[in-house]
A and B are shown apart, each in its own frame.
Chain A
Amino acid sequence: MALKGAIVVDTEKCKGCSVCVVNCPTKTIALTKEVNSKGYNYAYMAEPQTCTGCTNCATVCPDTCITVYRVKI
């Protein structure tokens, strides 16, 4: 059985700190080239197929702007 996950980032709250990026064990997350209204490059799923829904990124995000979903397949 495998785990498939997905994250949803509140792109307006994200400050582009990269703490989620370095904490993702599957290297799913990167920062966008575009910026949000505050001028921050924000987190997104650059490799959506690799996310396992482990919640590490959401746990460490200082601005709590990540929601995590997970399914067993």
Chain B
Amino acid sequence: MDLKDIIKPENLVYKRTKVLTDNVMHYCPGCSHGTVHKLIAEVIEEMDIQDKTIGISPVGCAVFAYNYMHIDWQQAAHGRAPALATATKRLYPDKYIFTYQGDGDLASIGTAEIMHACNRGENIVVIFINNAIYGMTGGQMAPTTLLGMVTSTTPYGRQADINGYPLKITELIAQLEGTCYVTRQSVQNAAAARKTKKAIRKAFENSKQMKGTSFVEVVSSCSSGWKLTPTQANEWMEENMFPFYPLGDLKDI
């Protein structure tokens, strides 16, 4: 069969969602941020809520997330996205509000904001990109950096006696009464990405039903920070991140 007989509009099975802009993403090749952006955009398209969704972008590599989706956006000070999301949701209860935050943003400088927003049960969606590193600023240690993991500020590997232990903040969030759905997913292969999309969809549905805070962690790769190729980074993630940050639902009520 000739390619020209296959490549026809009536045979189309996957195309780029119109919720994504045409801008080329500034992310490094293979970066999980791009994949997660796409999944959020597809959920927004499928739920037909493009004009009702407001994203809050973080400080970190995803600071420019607002360039990549045709929705309303705000950009928060470092770690403060949950506070901005709280205000926005309370002022516009009919809108869908999500924060999009890295591990440095959410689990370090923004720990107070995320804990209290989740404990108050704000009806928002939190997308948490855990790549165990400060990607944007040059690969420094994050609270989520694994023990023994080499970063630019732990050149001999993270040591518990000097640097403390990696923080499983998602496990802490799951204990808070304000959260209705807490899950940990990934996007390194098609099956994982499809599961993550389902999780994001559920999180947005929960916020429509005013069930409380939905929290979706995506264990992610940062090939630049980890000094690996994109495919090596995904393999390293499966071998090293998943045992410490196991995938699956922590809470679903």
Contact = CB atoms under 8 A, between A and B. Distances in A.
Contact of B14 (A21, A66, A71): A66
Given A4-B1, A19-B234, A64-B34, A13 B189 contact: no
Interface in A7-65: 8, 12-13, 15-19, 21-23, 40, 48, 53-65
Interface string B1-29: 10101111001111111001000110111
Interface residues of B, number: 36
A60 B189 CA distance: 6
Contacts of B8: 69
A67 B3 contact: no
B164 to A, nearest CB: 31
Can you list the 7 inter-chain pairs with the closest CB atoms, starting with the nearest? A62-B34, A17-B30, A15-B29, A56-B190, A17-B29, A68-B14, A6-B6
A19 B230 contact: yes
13 contacts: A5-B13, A6-B7, A17-B230, A19-B30, A19-B230, A53-B6, A59-B194, A60-B35, A61-B38, A62-B33, A67-B14, A68-B13, A69-B7
Interface residues of A, number: 36
B31 interface: yes
Given A53-B11, A66-B14, A69-B12, 5 more contacts: A55-B13, A61-B35, A62-B27, A62-B33, A69-B7
Nearest to A58: B14
A65 B16 CA distance: 7
Contacts, number: 101
A7 B15 CA distance: 10
Interface in B23-53: 24-25, 27-35, 38
